[in-house]
Structure 1
């Protein structure tokens, strides 16, 4: 993404029907001309009020403008919120079965588009199609169907108060929800927020990440076929402009934000000034603890999943701190290095690629900076550096994995979120010691524990201060499980019945005297 802006009008477009609407065919990195998109506001695809656009650069080629999206500002945020506010009463008043049917129809329309969305994800985000982009698109379909099935669970309870009184509660939608999305996995994070907010009766304004907005705009095109105008709106632009305007807007009842801890802190502060509901899914520096009884190839595969190297390490749940018991440190590390060396960094559209591209040059340079800082520390050793053997490079933002060992838990590379394919390996001997090191972090999003001793594994899992702990697996996120962090990794939960009820509804108590 560049900061290049230009003026546009609604009739300056390369879409098939001469409008700013999304829809097939999706942009590709080989298109002669970039695709012009609009924002979805009140059922219409519109340009920014100021007529400005932002160039969307594909991570595959820093010189290739994939598309142009509107540079929304406060006026555009206001238009979207007003549209959502106008649509809210009618949408909230529908019988739950009607909202349920809408979500099921959206899922039915998304399913045949999974492959197209996966390919667009690859060029929009740089995520490899086989390891990340396709599963992300498939998860979107599953999420819409799952939350459609929960439509009837937005219900209250009654209290037995005798024949002379009636006491009951109602679960009511919050109103207008602003969902602010990140660039690393936009479809997946939209799946966490959008269907739950919609099925519980809220209207939504999504703010797409400026670096990877295209799949969200295409998702909106499908949703709009089955939703009343204004129920879903999508704005594009920079976070400090249109995103900030949504956070402070008096017409927004709930802000659901996924992104960095630093930005999330500001979101919570600004939204909190007007007592808006807020949920935050923020950064992580997740510990991955391997006990001495787990020096196996099978565990290596699961640890590899936990590193999120297949997403270029651009994941807040990345198990980026690998704690190896000293009895197996060398042998396990040897197995892991051998496995990582087999990974192929390449064109994310290629089925043979395990790892795709870093999102942009700014992030690529940030990763390099952390590596240089780690290499400057006394005693550090390089267990694996795939950069010299990297067969792809410019004009794309490709980066091979890096594994550093003999790392101290108090170094920057072990404390700060790098958001790149960098793994810090740390020795441990005693269980108390490794739990203390795992918890010696202001983050608390995810954790991974590997042991054949179920008692030791669960004892450790229960002591680690993380919102999501996986035992003997590195992947395995399931639709319906509560997802969210502790400490500076956020507040609130998503992607579950509990998350839907707690995050997108509020309780009204009703007491009736009958005599």
Structure 2
């Protein structure tokens, strides 16, 4: 599996110039290389790539369940290092202030610390390079005019002082073209985006070049059924944001990949050769 933020070689802010965020290589950069190598050998290829998954919270949603879903969906317990992280949380304007307050309280109750300690909820970023990249995105979001709500507390234990800890951040008031909203960060950074009506919510959700996962939170079955067809993502869930069961087909649309995995469909499509046989017994 290949992810946009896991393709290495993304220069750090210090390498690009003081105060500048890292340049994130396009998902297509490495993908084209892999696809070209496969084409040269004339072999099939399946690619699970990056994501910028939207979580749409309608005005009638169960607020507490939706907040819990945002915490789980953002994968804060993995430091946001997940290609299906709910890094764009699109909330009806009537709920957004309460949603933010509830989410801040929930994340602040999480414990940052030693990843090997069972009491720890949030551990460290995987590498120094990724740590610098995530911090640079946070700085860029603030430069774009976003309000960064930094949550939880970095451990004060001297033994953990050199760990790559990044406080979870919820951004508000970001412009729609900010890299924090458009690019996969692969860190504990998400953005709350307000909307006024259903059509606007779908438009915002589908505005990304990615299409891996998406969720819709609503008590209205008609709205849910309409949304699951209109949201441009390969894996869509209603009123939940974490459950992946064995055998479910998994894969993305647009720049989130080609093909499916983790299912019989994937086995048949990508790991077997179909043969047509005709026998004439006359």
1:504 to 271, 274, 277: 271
Kindly indicate whether structure 1 or structure 2 has the higher relative contact order, using CA contacts under 8 Å at least 6 residues apart.
2
1:426 to 175, 193, 196: 193
Whole-Å separation in 1 of the counterparts to 2:66 and 2:113: 25
Q: Which residue is equivalent to 2:239?
A: 472
TM superposition shift of 1:260: 5.1
TM superposition shift of 1:341: 0.7
TM superposition shift of 1:394: 3.1
Question: What do the CA deviations read for 1:110-141 (whole angstroms, capped 9, x no partner)?
Answer: xxxxxxxxxxxxxxxxxxxxxxxxxxxxxxxx
Aligned residues of 1:261 and 1:489 also touching (Cα < 8 A): no
2:150 to 378, 385, 392: 385
1:307 to 74, 78, 103: 74
Aligned length: 262
Q: Which residue is equivalent to 2:229?
A: 462
Q: Which secondary structure does the structure 1 equivalent of 2:176 belong to?
A: coil
TM-score, normalised via structure 1 length: 0.49
TM superposition shift of 1:210: 11
Moved >6 Å (runs of 4+)? none
Q: Which residue is equivalent to 2:176?
A: 409
Aligned residues of 2:93 and 2:196 also touching (Cα < 8 A): yes
Whole-Å separation in 2 of the counterparts to 1:284 and 1:399: 20
Whole-Å separation in 1 of the counterparts to 2:187 and 2:28: 16
Q: Which residue is equivalent to 1:359?
A: 126
- 1:318-397 matches, cutoff 5 A: 318-378=85-145, 380-382=146-148, 384-386=149-151, 389-392=153-156, 393-397=160-164
Whole-Å separation in 2 of the counterparts to 1:513 and 1:456: 54
Q: Which secondary structure does the structure 1 equivalent of 2:211 belong to?
A: coil
- 1:251-330 matches, cutoff 5 A: 261-330=28-97
Whole-Å separation in 2 of the counterparts to 1:410 and 1:314: 22
TM superposition shift of 1:295: 4.7
When structure 1 is superposed on structure 2, of 403-412 and 472-481 the one drifting more is 403-412
Q: Which secondary structure does the structure 2 equivalent of 1:396 belong to?
A: coil
TM superposition shift of 1:369: 0.8
In angstroms, what is the RMSD of aligned CA positions?
A: 2.2
- 1:124-143 matches, cutoff 5 A: none
Whole-Å separation in 2 of the counterparts to 1:454 and 1:432: 16
Aligned residues of 2:108 and 2:151 also touching (Cα < 8 A): yes
- Rg larger in 1 or in 2? 1
TM superposition shift of 1:274: 2.7
TM superposition shift of 1:350: 1.1
Whole-Å separation in 1 of the counterparts to 2:195 and 2:150: 23
Aligned residues of 1:295 and 1:328 also touching (Cα < 8 A): no
